[in-house]
Amino acid sequence: MSIIRDIVHDKDGLGWLYGKFDSDSFFQGEMSITIYGESDDYIEYAEKCVVHYNRLKDDSGFMADLRDKLAKFMYYMRNEWEAMGIYDDIAEDTDKAVADFESGGDILKYLTRPYLNVEIPEDGTDEIGYSIVAECPWEPEHQCSIIVRGDQLKYVGPDDGSTPWDDDDQYYCIWLDEETE
């Protein structure tokens, strides 16, 4: 039985596949997946990524790192929106997330409509790598991207098209250098 279901080819001729799977990780329920390739090898690799993703909820170190990086990203963006003074509705929604987080709420609940992106490594290895993109109140324009390679959390920040196969220096985030509240 296939883990990924309802697989369809893209209509724009890009050679991508779209489907759905049951998420049993830090997002629960049906989740969309984009596979950047059309062959059976790509589907097989994507299913390995789904299995890996579904195990992340049990990795307490990974989950703590994810929540920490999400919080730093949230605080940084809140401060940036407030400094601009032009996005009061964004700052207001973000302040609600900050207040809930600071009172013990789970920051992950503010990530909505997540989907998994899978791209096979260019070097031909079978190393696991994927990104999760979700909407969030503190970055409504570019969403939030979470990039995983192997068992490492490589990036948490705005979705800028980065992949798990980029060089580590491409994952730099200023908010990881700064002290947050």
- Residue 59 within any structural domain of the chain: yes
The model's pLDDT over 88-117, given as tens digits with 9 standing for 90+, comes to 777 888 888 999 999 999 999 999 999 999
The total number of structural domains in the chain stands at 1
Identify the pLDDT of residue 178: 62
- Residue 64 within any structural domain of the chain: yes
- Residue 37 within any structural domain of the chain: yes
Tell me the two tokens of residue 115. 């989907």
- Residue 104 within any structural domain of the chain: yes
> Does residue 57 register a pLDDT over 60?
yes
Per the confidence metrics, is the pTM higher than 0.85? Answer: yes
> Does residue 10 register a pLDDT over 90?
no
- Residue 109 within any structural domain of the chain: yes
Identify the pLDDT of residue 151: 92
- Residue 181 within any structural domain of the chain: no
Identify the pLDDT of residue 134: 97
Domain that holds residue 115: 5-176
User: Could you tell me the maximum CA-CA distance found in the chain, to the nearest angstrom?
Assistant: 52
Identify the pLDDT of residue 179: 56
The model's pLDDT over 124-163, given as tens digits with 9 standing for 90+, comes to 788 999 999 999 999 998 999 999 999 999 999 999 989 9
Identify the pLDDT of residue 2: 79
Identify the pLDDT of residue 1: 59
Q: Whole-number mean pLDDT of the chain?
A: 90
- Residue 76 within any structural domain of the chain: yes
CA–CA distance, 11 with 109 (Å, rounded to integer) = 32
> Does residue 32 register a pLDDT over 90?
yes
Identify the pLDDT of residue 91: 80
CA distances from 7 to 2, 4, 51 (A): 10, 7, 17
* Angle value at C-alpha 141, between 137 and 144, nearest 5 degrees: 60
Exposure class string for 113-147: b at 16+ Cβ within 10 A, else e: ebbbbbbbeeeeeeebbbbbbbebbbbbeebbbbb
> Does residue 181 register a pLDDT over 60?
no
- Residue 94 within any structural domain of the chain: yes
